Structure 1
Amino acid sequence: MDSNLYFESGREGKITLVLSCPGACEELQGRPAVGKSGENLKEILTKVNELSKTKNWTREKVTITNAWDKAEHICKTGRSEAKISEIKSTSNINRLFYDVEHTEEYIICFGKRAQMAIKQVIKSHFQNKKSPKIINTRQPGFQSLNRITKDIEGNTILKGQKDATRRRLQVIAHEIFEQM
């Protein structure tokens, strides 16, 4: 499995997950989607496996990349996201294309920056090539998660509730499953 700060190649080429950018935990550990976001991602993948009745959605099988390949965190760069102009730069879009070009079934975009970047990759590089199905959902980080106020059954999720995070992650898993 190839690995670095922003990219990790899975054993299968069926599914690629695109996050926004590496943060402090990723920089420290030298691989994408670690720390709390990584734990949340694992929970989402487990739930999608249950919903789809497959075993394709595991960290070892999926490829993970980021819309931006450099670590962004307040202590280092004073921001937690790359600028839109950086993400849309030709060199970054070309880099992201190489990360996703062999994906056979699904590219899952976590958050608006990932969605924007993949949209540009498709526009720039997939004119003569069939693209995989694009699935758009929210970021698995807490800032995004805390905006989810209803669970999959329509019940209110209250701040500080014991199982609030798990219920919010289920919402994301359902968003992915419904778009498959």
Structure 2
Amino acid sequence: VSSKDENFLDLSIDVEENTSITTCLRVFSNIETLSGESKYYCETCSSKQEATKRMRIKKLPRILALHLKRFKYFEVFKQYKKLSYRVVFPFELRLLNTSEDCTNNDRIYDLVSLVVHCGIGPNRGHYIAVVKRDGSWLVFDDETVDRLDPSNFEEFYGVSHDLGRQSETSYILFYESRDY
């Protein structure tokens, strides 16, 4: 058994159709079997071995950035496509995929900002920022700043059926720890 600690600036998580951030984070930490071409290279044995891999968070950051992997390469099209899947995210988040030796593993995070991609593909579109300031939500779209009612956040979840249509989808979510 071996382990490796790595620092990170954000967690890049795969998205599935009609899911939630909580489910995406659970999948991120699932046990993965490394076999075939992706076998683990064992330094002691000097050969590739079948192994299992699991990602766990050892030290929780003050600001948690979740990057939703919404652009995927499709071999059949020979290009990247946008995944506009509906991914529900909470205003309050608790991470359950921490390691056993993690301190403050009961830390609660509050959503403070998000980057939203508006458009149908990775090569065209527009980004806007949604930021919480003094208890209010603001949308920054180039030189325009508007207030946003929290009940309208559903428009940034994505669409129920990915039909390749124009959509405003959350791309990066920023959560801040309450107790840092």
TM-score, normalised relative to structure 2:
0.24
